[in-house]
Each structure stands twice: as structure tokens, then as C-alpha cells.
Amino acid sequence: MTPEQLRTVLAEAAADTVRTAHPADGAVLRRADGRTPGHWHSNLALRTAARLDGADAHDVAEQIAEALRRHPDIAAVTVSGPGFLGIEVTAASLLAAVCAIIAEQIADAEPGADAVPAADAHTSADDGDPAPEVPDGPARALDDDPVHLIRRSHAHGRRLLRNAAAAGVPGGCPRTAARGDVGVGEARPDSAEIVGAETLDTGERSLLVHVTEAADTLARTRDPAALTATLADLAHAYLDWAASHTLVPTLDADITAVHAARAVLVDAVTTVLARGLRLLGVRAPERM
């Protein structure tokens, strides 16, 4: 489930609950910071209650939460404080959303669209793909050059995916999500078709949410500063994940569903980073 889809679900839940035509006016949806339950936080109930004379925001939030819990792609909803909603979406719906992001990127790509002067390539001259290394120390040490951080993270992810493919790790997206001819309104991956979604841990699900938020931001703004900040934030989150998770199993370990799901995760991260770099007029390198 993407942020845009969740906004629609929230608006419909509020409309069905309080019977008002525009319950979501002024409502804000933000990615959770990890300190409170859920993937997303919304002030929808507070904004909706403000439009209703004498309505208690917490009661309105409980009613909206009850409606949201009936949605198949929503795993849990909590109400906190005066009426803030904490929303957790299912892992399968998150993977389905990023598979759609990957498919749309493939469909939208045009030959030469990412071309930049050769001097900006900064790619490695070697042909091999040794195991990628996460930058020493916190990723935030590269904050002085956020574009370099974004490019380095993209190259790291692409190398990780090449190594995974060489080891026989399958991609987790359904076939329809990987084809470049998927058009608007055509088949998208269904949540039930996604392999390995439930094997992802809490941090990996949060990274999937991060990917959908970044893709949503890229679709809404062309401001270079906002794009750079969004991409650098995603790059930080990816490198933090890469420092504590593996995509390629060791020689004595079996390839499992979690590796396929992680391949989708890394593919989605690099897809969004590449899209953002292209918007900034910068090449997304395969190697650095």
C-alpha cells in the first residue's frame, strides 16, 4: 500500500464513519518515527472532529480505526493521545506496492534518459563484483556530500543484486510486476502473490514504508533540495539495513523466501534512488 492509496482508504473510512463529504481536508499522513506503534501516523480524526460540532476527536478516531481494521491490507490500527491514528500495513501489501514502483520505473524508462556527461560516471574500472562493503562508520559521515552518498548507496545496492542473482536468489515480484509493458490500469501484483513478505522483520518492513514514502515525494515535487533530502534519508536507512542484514546466503545456507523478499526490497531502494538521481540530472552508477 502506497501513501496515496492509504490516504484514499483513510478518507473513505472517515466518510463512512462520520458521514461527511470531505473528512480528510487538512489531514496529514506521516511516516512513523519508530517510537510509537504503526508505520504511519495521521491526524485525520482530529481534523475531522474539528468540522463536527461537539464531536470528541478520540471517539472519532476510534470509529475510524474500527473501519480501517476491516481493510485487508491494514494489519493494525492504534489510537493515541487526543486522537492520533497509528496505522500498520501488512508486509504483503508493502511488497506489492514496491513491486508496482519497480514496474512503473521500468515502464517509464526511456533509452538515454539517464545519460549524463562521461566525466560524471565515477564508475569502477574492474569487471568483477566482490562482496559489497557498507561504508565504514555511520552512513551519516557522508552527509557533507549527500549526492555522493545517494550514488554510492545505489551502486552498493546494484552490486548486491548482481551478487544475489549470481548466487541464484530469485526476485520476489510476480512476473506482471517485472515487465516493462505494464500500463496504467493494467494488472498489478496482488498482495497474495508476493513471496516471502511475512519473513521480513520489523526493520525491513519499515524500510519498505520508507521506500513508498520516498517514491511518493518524488512524484509530488521537483525541488532539488527536497529531492536530495528525501533520497539521502532513504540512502541512510538502506545502509543501516545493509550493515545488519544479508541478501546472499552463506555457502552452507539454503536460499529461502526471505532472500527473495530482500531482493525486492533492495531492487525497490535502488529503483527509487535511480529515479531521484535522474530528476536531479545525475547518473545512478552501477559501480563506484
pLDDT in tens, 35-71: 778 999 999 999 888 888 778 999 999 999 999 999 9
Per-residue pLDDT at 145 exceeds 60: yes
Over range 263-286, report the average pLDDT. 96
Q: Is 30 exposed, middle or buried (0-12, 13-18, 19+ CB in 10 A)?
A: exposed
Which of the pair, 137 or 3, is modelled with greater confidence? 3
CATH 3.30.1360.70 residue ranges in the chain?
3-89
pLDDT level of residue 144 (50, 70, 90 thresholds)? confident
Give every CB contact of residue 28 below 8 A, 6+ residues apart in sequence.
42, 43
Spacing of C-alpha 275 from chain mean position: 13
Whether domain 90-108+143-173+198-287 has CATH 3.30.1120.130: the reply is no
pTM for the model: 0.82
Residue found under cell 545493509? 242
Alpha carbons within 13 A on the beta-carbon side of 87: 37
Q: Quote the pLDDT of residue 115.
A: 37
Q: Quote the pLDDT of residue 97.
A: 93
Spacing of C-alpha 11 from chain mean position: 21
**Percent of the chain whose predicted confidence (pLDDT) is above 70:** 76
pLDDT level of residue 15 (50, 70, 90 thresholds)? confident
Give every CB contact of residue 70 below 8 A, 6+ residues apart in sequence.
none
Q: Quote the pLDDT of residue 20.
A: 59
Asked whether 17 and 60 are in contact (CB, 8 A), the reply is: yes
Task: Read off the pLDDT of residues 63-94 as tens digits, 9 standing for 90 and up.
Answer: 999 999 999 999 999 999 999 999 999 999 99
d(CA 63, CA 45) in angstroms, rounded, equals 9
Q: Quote the pLDDT of residue 27.
A: 78
Q: Give the residue from 65, 31, 68, 70 showing the smallest Cα distance to 205.
A: 31
Q: Quote the pLDDT of residue 181.
A: 36
Task: Read off the pLDDT of residues 99-135 as tens digits, 9 standing for 90 and up.
Answer: 999 988 766 654 444 433 333 333 333 334 565 655 5
CATH architecture of residue range(s) 3-89: 2-Layer Sandwich (3.30)
Over range 15-24, report the average pLDDT. 67
CATH 1.10.730.10 residue ranges in the chain?
90-108+143-173+198-287
Q: What is the DSSP string of the chain?
A: --HHHHHHHHHHHHHHHH--S-TTTT--EEE--SSSSSSEEE-HHHHHHHTSTT--HHHHHHHHHHHHTTSTTEEEEEEETTTEEEEEE-HHHHHHHHHHHHHHHHHH--TTTT---GGG----S----PPP-PPSS-GGGGTTSHHHHHHHHHHHHHHHHHHHHHTTPPP-S-HHHH-TT--TTS----GGG-TTGGGS-HHHHHHHHHHHHHHHHHHH---HHHHHHHHHHHHHHHHHHHTT--SSPPTTS---HHHHHHHHHHHHHHHHHHHHHHHTT----S--
Q: Quote the pLDDT of residue 53.
A: 77
d(CA 247, CA 167) in angstroms, rounded, equals 10
Q: Quote the pLDDT of residue 253.
A: 87
Task: Read off the pLDDT of residues 193-224 as tens digits, 9 standing for 90 and up.
Answer: 566 888 999 999 999 999 999 999 999 999 99
Per-residue pLDDT at 180 exceeds 90: no
